[in-house]
Amino acid sequence: MRYEITKKFKFEAGHRVWKQNLTSGKGARLMEGEIPPNPCLNIHGHSYKVEVTVGSDTLNEQEMVIDFYHIKAALKDLIDNKLDHSFIIDKNDPLYPSFKEHFGFLKLFVVDFCPTAEALAKFIYDFLTEKLDEAGLLEDIKVVSVTVWETETGKAVYRGQ
């Protein structure tokens, strides 16, 4: 893409990384004998920051990739009404049936993946790509990347092909 723009968003949400196991997987080799707890198995929350970058090889008649307002409008319902102040839970999480039964009054955002920053970045990427496709804009405008900041020091980035 010759031209790119980035729009930032913020939302507050809780989640649980129910698949976390610090003693297995690629990263376990970095540990030196100590078996730590798995803190993200616990219910916790973040002040998420999201950066969405879209691009095009050409500019429109207004000499822009797309107006920032349009990117905001495409993601407003998802971020402001569905994700913000929700509890993001994987429908495959063993706790999901209990949450659904006993905490149905909570604002649950049910997904089909373990809600890590990486998976949320891909989810938002796919969501915006679909919105651009529905509007007939995917020919000219592509989602370049989505970055999800969980903390001030930790982010995940998803880039499409």
Active site residues: 40, 85, 150
Which of these, 70, 72, 52, lies nearest to 62 by C-alpha position?
70
First to last CA, the chain: 12
C-alpha distances (whole Å) from 105 to each of 67, 87, 143, 154 are 37, 11, 35, 31
Rounded distance, CA 111 to CA 93, Å?
Answer: 10
Task: Name the H helices within 5-149.
Answer: 68-76, 96-102, 117-134
